[in-house]
Structure formats: structure tokens, C-alpha cells
Amino acid sequence: MSDLEQVYGIHAVSALLAHHPKRVKQLWLAKGRQDASVEALREQAQTMRIEVRLVERAELDEKTDGVHQGVLALVSPSQIWGEAMLDELLDRTSEPVLLLVLDGVTDPHNLGACLRTADAAGVHAVIIPKDKSATLNATVRKVACGAAEVVPLVAVTNLARTLQNLQKKGVWIAGTAGEAQASIYQQDLRGPLALVMGAEGKGMRRLTREHCDYLVKLPMLGSVSSLNVSVASGVCLFEIRRQRGL
């Protein structure tokens, strides 16, 4: 089973069993852990005829590189969407689409947190470049607390071209930059929208910035000059939802 991926943590594994049970090949549980949440996972897996193994906690510690909570699933490789599937998503979405674009976010913890925030804000898909970006792995899934199993993650070869294609379909591109003139609270964000967040520390790349229809900023009142990308994404996404009356 060397080709299988790891998903660990109660919330991440629970979401996987709920949404993509056919991907789960084995469920490993720590011996001696018998609380209700773990027992529910065991029963769910057994009902689906998924092999369940009881192992020593030390074996789980060795197998994973994060807080596994006594739960580990071995699953078939991640399914990351391609740009063609993004077109299908746009065609079948009845409400004004809301997309989150992460331009070069390389920290898997930040990607996982952004996916979790995107799910909470009702984002239809998260878009990342294939190169110079974090991608789905066990850490991302653990931090996302199940959101990685329900929010489509679209990896594209050329982000600038993708933004152009979105514009042709009537989607506005809003970039975030500290030097923007308008704040997020002054901009009308109610139409079809792709919100672009830049990489940690560097912001958006030049070519990405050039393909934005407009730039917005978060007003910073304290001594720090910027927020963590997942925190900034959350503030912006929920302002968009507020304007849309949701």
C-alpha cells in the first residue's frame, strides 16, 4: 500500500468517510481509545466494510508527522480538480460564484486553514497554481478539519490565463494589496467574484496583479503591517458574504 496517502485526525477522517468513503482502504485506530467519536468512526468503517486495524499509539506516532488523535486512514491518492472541472462548476452554479485564489501559498498549514475558512464562507472552489504552491497532503487535511474533502481544490498551470478565462465568463477579479486605495468595506463585492490572496510575505505576483480588475485592502490600525493569509481570507470572505446578505 505504498501508493496510498495518509489522512489523520478525527474531523478529517470523519469528513472523508462521509463524502468519499470509496477512497478509504484502511482505518487505523489507537488501542485503548474508546470515546464516542472514535467508536463512531469504527462503526461507520465497519458498516462500509473498510478494514479496521487496532494499533499501538506509538505506531501511529511513527507513521504520522502531526497530531493524529488516535485516528489514521490510508486512502487512494487525492483528487485535485483541473481547469476543465472549474468550467463545469461555473456552468452549474446558480448563485453569483465566489472563488478564492491563493497565489503561491506554500505553507501547508496556511492552505489547510484557508480551505477551512473557504468552506465556512461558502466558497465554491479554491484555486492554486500547480507550481510554487502547497498541495493536498496529510497536514493540509488535518488543519482543514474536513474542509479538504468538500471544497474543490483546483490546480492550474497558468494562473494569469485562468484569471483571464474567469473574466471572460463574467467573474470579477479582486486582488488584495496593502497599497490599494479602497478598503474591502468600500468595494461592491456582490457579483460573481474571485478573491485573490497573495503568498506569505510577498503578496501577489506582478502578473497576477496585472490581471485583477481592482485591488482592495484591509485597514490595519495597529503596529503590524499584515495578517496571516488565512486570517485575511476569512475577514474578506465574510465581508463578501455580509454584502450578499448571507
What pLDDT does 127 receive?
A: 97
What pLDDT does 85 receive?
A: 85
**What mean pLDDT comes out for the span 221-244?**
89
Q: Are residues 117 and 67 in the same domain?
A: no
pLDDT confidence band for 15 (50 / 70 / 90): confident
What pLDDT does 100 receive?
A: 98
What single-letter amino acid sits at 162? T
What pLDDT does 22 receive?
A: 85
What pLDDT does 11 receive?
A: 86
Lookup: cell for 218: 484591509
Q: Are residues 110 and 199 in the same domain?
A: yes
* Beta carbons of 90 and 97 less than 8 angstroms apart: yes
- Percent of the residues in the chain that have a pLDDT greater than 90, as a whole number: 48
Is the pLDDT at 78 greater than 80? The verdict is no
* Beta carbons of 226 and 220 less than 8 angstroms apart: yes
Is the pLDDT at 223 greater than 80? The verdict is no
What pLDDT does 201 receive?
A: 74
What pLDDT does 2 receive?
A: 57
What pLDDT does 154 receive?
A: 94
Structural domain harbouring 167:
83-243
CATH code assigned at 58: 3.30.1330.30
The model's pTM: 0.81
What pLDDT does 169 receive?
A: 94
What pLDDT does 164 receive?
A: 96
Cross-strand bridge partners of residue 98: 193
What pLDDT does 1 receive?
A: 52
- Split into its structural domains, the chain has a count of 2
Average pLDDT for the chain: 89
User: Rounded to an integer, what distance in angstroms lies between the CA atom of residue 184 and that of residue 187?
Assistant: 6
What pLDDT does 81 receive?
A: 84
The residue among 50, 75, 100 that closes a domain is 75
Q: Are residues 18 and 135 in the same domain?
A: no
Report the DSSP pairing between strands 182-183 and 24-30.
unpaired
Q: Are residues 89 and 45 in the same domain?
A: no
Angle, alpha carbons 72-78-81 (nearest 5°)? 150
User: Rounded to an integer, what distance in angstroms lies between the CA atom of residue 141 and that of residue 109?
Assistant: 9
Over residues 152-186, the pLDDT tens digits come to 999 999 999 999 999 999 999 999 988 888 999 99
DSSP 59-117: HHHHH-SS--TTEEEEESPP--B-HHHHHHHHHH--SPPEEEEEES---HHHHHHHHHH
CA 9 to each of CA 12, 68, 104, 141: distance values in angstroms, whole numbers, following the listed order: 6, 5, 26, 9
Lookup: cell for 101: 485564489
